Chains A and B, each alone.
Chain A
Amino acid sequence: MRIQSITFRRLLILAIAICATVACNKSVSDRTANLAPLNPANQDLNAGNWKLVLLSRPDTFPVVAPAATSSTGYLADLFEIKGYQKKLSGDELGKIRYWSAGGVLRWNEIMRSLTAKYNVPPYQNADGSYPIPSSTNPFAYPYFPFSNPPYAARAFAYVSAAQYDALVACWHYKQQYNRPAPYMVDSSIKAYANKTTLPSYPSEAAVLAGVSAEMMKLLYPDEIASVEAKLQEAELAAIESGAATRSDITAGEALGRQVAQAFIARGRADNAGKAVGTPTDWANFATQAQAAGQTPWLSLDAPSRPPMLPLFGKVKGFLVDSAHVVALRPGPPPSTNSADMQSATSEVYNLVKTPSREQMRIVQFWADGVGTYTPPGHWDAIAAEDFIKKNFSEVRWARNFALLNMAEMDAAIVCWDVKYHYFNPRPSQLNGQIKTLTGVPNFPSYISGHSTFSGAAAAILGHIVPERASAYMSMAQEASNSRVIGGIHYRTDCSTGLTVGQGVGNFAIQRATTDGAE
């Protein structure tokens, strides 16, 4: 008995030791959690001259001249920084470090997080109909928005384009007023991020915070409080890091919010609000397809769900106009009654009948479905990882994300136009035997959204980071193919989608070569 109890104690100690070394150490951290502070190779001091997206001039919104660095007001600003720097907590230093990796990057990550959070389709009503989220009542279920791929593409584009215009304006005033950063004026102020010669008025961190927070009010109205908290955090980090004074921040935030208002006005009139359509619209698509002798698309959701944003093809693009949308529209898919369509359906069936583990991995990696940041968010994540290595200035980060995300939004517009123009059924609709490795999206098959998004993204990213062009194209190819081997698209949907996407991407490249940044 005595021996047994000693043995038992030893076993217990052993078990605890194994746990402590193996199983209990499980902290998981994000891949961008510990980035070095942004250290631009070139501050792009002339960016005030770059071509704007929406504003007509960089000084459309005036920013008053700052007080001289010799003024008593400025001295008080410096005291505030010194006061903070005297007693920075570990938590505050962590936030300084987090934001110093780059405001465009961090706000994009926040956007990706919100996109994933709101990317959940509404649950059905008791009668089998579906409630539609409303921006006028975002706090009640179903929460607004349902950030599905077209919604997300547009949201990313608006935030990125507004950030870009706001930073171009910011750079314009930085150059005009040329106020040095606090750590340049007063050597007792420490630079917690990198020391740069970039003028600090108005603060780029605050411009980004103001413009992003204001845009997100429109796009994610349920999140106003959490987004404002992020704004406060970003601005405080900029002050505590010694990079900006209170007056740099105030001027920057105001400028950012004003620029956002111009984009919000555009957003309210870009037809996105009407993209849900009406029951009459939904019925018309089927009638038109039948009139053309085609089997119309049917929702495979149960209960049957209205098609996702069927009028999104009518949204006003940033890079393409309505005539371009028609010009980019490819010819029809094989007729639903044709032998070609039959063999395309058989191909999908055979591909997905006994899937390999590698096949499942590819499908899951690119699925970007419910509860994720969608394909545009995935391409932003891919872009961000490469941009981090490039040491771009904040304004160039914004410009590159604006190009990418405007291309993604316009890819969504063009793709959705095609989808509802042809209203083509999914493989599982034509052959109920086809099982899929991811959920079947609730909209027509031709052309593949993933392929269109990926083609557009790979094209513009290959222009921005040329040494990665072929890598982007093979990623796009894999993303596109993942939809065929996942059983939810015919091969033609994907190959055509990739080509159409590249066509949209070319509009972004066209802009990139003429925006003054190259």
Chain B
Amino acid sequence: MKNLIKQLLPAGIMLLFLPAALKAQTDEDGIMMAKKNLCIGGTYSYSSWNNYWEGTFKRTNQNIGTVSTKMFGLMGTYGITNKLNLVAGVPYIETRATAGTLHSQAGFQDLSAWLKWQAFQFRAGEGKLSLYAVGGGSLPLTNYIADYLPLSIGLQSKTLSGRILADYLLGKFFVTASGTYTWRSNITIDRNSYYTTEEHLTNQVDMPDFTSWNVRTGYRSNSLVVEAVLSNMTTIGGFDIRKNDMPFPSNKMNATMLGGAFKYYIKGFEQLSIVGGGSYTVAGRNVGQSTMFDIGAFYIVDFTHARAKKRASSLHNNKTN
């Protein structure tokens, strides 16, 4: 049990989209929360870009300068069982441009929730291989404006995601790889017509789905995780921003990001952990070339323990784990 508690989920956040997305590292790593344990915490991230891609054309724009996104995330992971976790998060986002006149935006973005299931675990050679199935979705929490890129705080789409994740642990070294498919619902914008590669006489926008993958590798012990992370998202369909045109929610937004992350459990106070990381967009299409940093703190509440203690005092229950 002690070991399982120590293997609680670090939660970092990553910026994937042109507008920010709260990404629980927990739904992309090979670590599970123990049954009836809640890991809850907050993260802060800052990302910015001044280069962006209009289709494949990379440029800067003096009319927006540097676009920055600050995100405050509240996240939690709960062990329904030792093999089934619920992960949920809520981000508050602020965007700003350093040049030009465009008004900044701020607000609560999308509630996201994931069910993470450790389906298989077996010895493979000297190490241990675990396979996970992860399903999740997101729902906009507020009526923020989506058709205001690049300063919108989100895209207003409801999403459903399915992910397969494999984790291989050899001693204290690990490799985790996952692939995800995300379905996106249509959105309604404030305009009643818009141009993509043709004119659409409607306020409904067909949002292209996307796939993503994530590979992370590094050192993982009971007190420290240090890892390198390579991730990618690729929009299936969507269209390119034309030269000097405005971006649009249904653009083809692709990005490949390289970064690192750490998680450190405070010695002697292992319920508390500090997480952090950073990433850089090495390639992209219709997105900003973001550099991102994040930092967060998480705390574990062990409900099993609390209840067991209660039971022990009232019912003299002698249950052991």
Residues of A within 8 A of B (CB): 1, 4-5, 8, 11-12, 15, 18-19, 22-24, 26-32, 109, 112-113, 116-117, 120-123, 141, 300-303, 352, 355, 357, 360-361, 364-365, 367, 369-373, 381, 428, 434-437, 439-440, 487
Contact = CB atoms under 8 A, between A and B. Distances in A.
A386 B205 CA distance: 24
Given A113-B198, A364-B148, A302 B63 contact: yes
Q: Name the 8 nearest CB pairs between A and B, nearest first.
A: A23-B183, A113-B199, A302-B62, A364-B190, A116-B195, A30-B201, A435-B103, A123-B244
Given A302-B99, A435-B104, 16 more contacts: A8-B133, A11-B135, A15-B162, A23-B209, A28-B186, A28-B200, A30-B200, A112-B193, A141-B243, A357-B144, A360-B148, A381-B193, A434-B101, A437-B103, A439-B102, A487-B101
B119 interface: yes
B103 A116 contact: no
Count chain A CB atoms within 10 A of each CB in B101, B144, B159, B194 and give the residue with the most.
B101
B38 to A, nearest CB: 23
A229 to B, nearest CB: 14
A300 B183 contact: no
Interface in B164-191: 183-186, 189-191
A252 B320 CA distance: 93
A112 B144 CA distance: 29
Contacts of B198: 113
A412 B63 CA distance: 26
Contact of A4 (B63, B119, B145, B160): B119
Contacts of A370: 245-246
A141 B202 CA distance: 30
Contacts of B135: 11, 15
Contacts of A112: 193, 199
Interface residues of B, number: 49
Given A30-B200, A121-B244, A19 B148 contact: no
Contact of A364 (B144, B145, B160, B195): B145
Contacts of A301: 63
B193 A373 contact: yes
Contact of A300 (B101, B160, B245): B101
Contacts of B183: 19, 22-24
Contacts of B202: 28-31
Contacts of B243: 120, 123, 141
Nearest to B57: A123
B190 A22 contact: no
B131 to A, nearest CB: 9
B190 A360 contact: yes
Given A11-B135, A113-B199, A116-B199, A367 B191 contact: yes
Contacts of A355: 103
Contacts of B143: 357
Contacts of B193: 112, 116, 372-373, 381
A130 to B, nearest CB: 10
A4 B205 CA distance: 39
10 contacts: A11-B135, A12-B133, A15-B135, A18-B160, A23-B160, A109-B201, A355-B103, A357-B145, A365-B190, A487-B103
B190 A117 contact: no
B199 A26 contact: no
Contacts of B100: 300, 302
B227 interface: no
B191 to A, nearest CB: 6
Given A355-B103, A371-B246, A117 B195 contact: yes
Nearest to A123: B244
Interface string B120-151: 10000000000001010000000111011000
Contacts of B119: 4-5, 8
A371 B244 CA distance: 10
A122 B244 contact: yes
Contacts of B36: none
Nearest to A5: B119
B57 to A, nearest CB: 9
Interface in B45-87: 62-63
A428 B101 contact: yes
A5 B131 CA distance: 11
A1 B120 CA distance: 7
Interface centre among B100, B104, B242 (most CB of A within 10 A): B100
